[in-house]
Structure 1
Amino acid sequence: MWPSPKKLPGSRVSLWPLTHGHAKALAQATVAGPFSPEGCKTPVRHDMTGEISYRLERQADGLSLTYAVQSRSTRWIGWASYSRIDRAHKKLEIGDVWLACLDPKSYNQTMISLLDHAFENARANTVQIKAVTSNTALRARIENLGASLDGVLRNEIIAKNGEPQDVALYSIIKTEWPEISKSICAKLL
């Protein structure tokens, strides 16, 4: 599988390949008050096993790779995924980040761990990150990571209210990663 599922340790959070063994703890995390970027579906507590099964099926098909996120206090606080995996062009999208804690530093550490694994271990050429254009807070976080705005995908998704929404597409490429890595580790951790 590309990228390979392995533990991604960090100072604030650790990422573990998602398994059904995480279901109970992640169901409990849904009660904690989610910190979900716009467009991310908060999992339903009573169907956590179904959510995990869906993610593992996509992983088995080579379409995504989801990690359970564990806080420094060893509490399971959410998940984050590589989605839209394109092996031919060594391109990944980081998406579907759900964290039950309101700590932006946990979000930053999660993203840094995924970016580092994508470039350093999986040798990706490009990592993309999307955000609904109206979510200025998430867009600022993505830009603080050093991602460049590639453009806006018009009417890319349908919001819960049924209205189409534009999505900003950001990316980081492998030649930018060494400098970005130094910069974000210094300013965000």
Structure 2
Amino acid sequence: MARTRKEQAEWRREQLLDAALTVFAAKGVDGASVKDLAAAAAVTPGLLYRYFDSKEALVQALLAERGFLPRLRELLTADHGARPARQVLTELLEAFDRLLADNADLVAVFFGTTRARAGLAELMAEGQGLVGGFLTARVAAGELRPHDVATAAKTLLSVVAVNRGMGIPVDVVRLVDLLFPEEG
């Protein structure tokens, strides 16, 4: 079946992202060259540069498009109805942990890059902002006690991510309980 130019370009871009994930997971971001990436995708380095300005831009695209942010946005924009914040947070963190477990190569890329730190910081800040916004709304509704939502969001996501990156299971229920103990 013939493809339009746009469909062909989208397919090629996805192929480049697939190849990059494989190469970055095997060699690390810093250890992989543009030549390695192009060879894995069976393209020339010049073609790779038509889609991505640099290796760092490729890393950013990979993490932004295939990382946890799209799923986190989906989870936090869903209608949670009258469900308790603790339940929503537990489900959110369990889903985040599963996402990380199911995408070990992506986790390796995330923890293995030193070249694109500024972009990584932006991605992490957006994720923390999403969780912080949820916490802020629940504090305003009187469901959670007032607290430093930015630090709580950073702590929740970081504990899950770091433990998953190290292969250490995290008890999400206990983590939520630790940050948001039952008030008597």
**TM-score (structure 2 length as normaliser):** 0.30
- Greater fraction of residues in strand: 1
- Greater fraction of residues in helix: 2
Higher Rg of the two aligned structures: 2
Which protein, 1 or 2, shows the higher relative CO under an 8 Å CA cutoff with sep ≥ 6?
2
**TM-score (structure 1 length as normaliser):** 0.29
